[in-house]
Amino acid sequence: MNTTVQSLQRRLIALGFPLPKHGADGDPGGETLIAMNSALNELEALRGEKPPTPKPEPSASIVPVDWMPAAKMERIICHWTAGAHKASEFDRSHYHILIEDDGKLVRGIPSIKLNEAPAKKGYAAHTLNCNTGSIGVSLCCMGGSTEAPFDPGKYPMTRKQWDALTDVIADLCRRSGIKITDKTVLSHAEVQNNLGIQQRGKWDFTRLAFDPSIVGAKACGDKLRAEASAKL
């Protein structure tokens, strides 16, 4: 019997590191080593020499790395395509990132880099007089819809699209350093009020097909920012 090991084992047990199979048997076996290692890690963490078990990222990267060239962008403007539930070539020509009805991301044709100031030929034209510095994300939905009386048409916005949108916003903000405010993360329908740049009667988003209790650009935008912030 190894009394030094046995005494060490007893101390480990007393400290709350159980050695379930054998108890304090004097055998310097695997369980003792694992328990010692764990005790040492905790002690080191307590002394600040080693961080506790690293926390996993809140969520993995949502937007593929090659869709995100280094570019200094200031805001994210969220839209719907006023088209069908899948991204057409036409839809893809106007936005950087599109989100289909099942939450699948589709890359738009223009690179985000083209919308960096000064905007370059072929940039994504998604918001009148407000494309420079603006990432355009669009939900593929709402073709044939009307605002008043509200009729979401044949391609209503889905909850999955909305949830994917808040995932994308949180991811873009984390990676580009954009902070979430009502001037930096907003829907197209908020641009005129929040940024003072006149638009032509855009109502993406003043109604959410999956939640008719939310009405108006600010209410929809506040919900968007709150849910995206919660994912940061």
User: By the criterion CB under 5 A, which residues form the site for Zn ion?
Assistant: 79, 188, 204
- Minimum separation from the CB atom of position 148 to Zn ion (A): 18
Rg value, the chain, Cα: 26
Q: Which is nearer to Zn ion, 31 or 101 (CB)?
A: 101
Q: Which is nearer to Zn ion, 35 or 126 (CB)?
A: 126
Of the candidates 226, 196, 204, 186, the residue with the CA atom closest to the CA atom of residue 141: 204
Q: Which is nearer to Zn ion, 116 or 204 (CB)?
A: 204
3-state DSSP call for residue 166?
helix
- Minimum separation from the CB atom of position 51 to Zn ion (A): 43
Q: Which is nearer to Zn ion, 91 or 167 (CB)?
A: 91
| DSSP code at position 99 | E
- Minimum separation from the CB atom of position 70 to Zn ion (A): 26
- Minimum separation from the CB atom of position 153 to Zn ion (A): 16
Cα–Cα dist 157/111, whole Å: 25
Cα–Cα dist 104/89, whole Å: 16
In this structure, are strands 105-107 and 185-187 parallel, antiparallel, or unpaired? unpaired
| DSSP code at position 77 | E
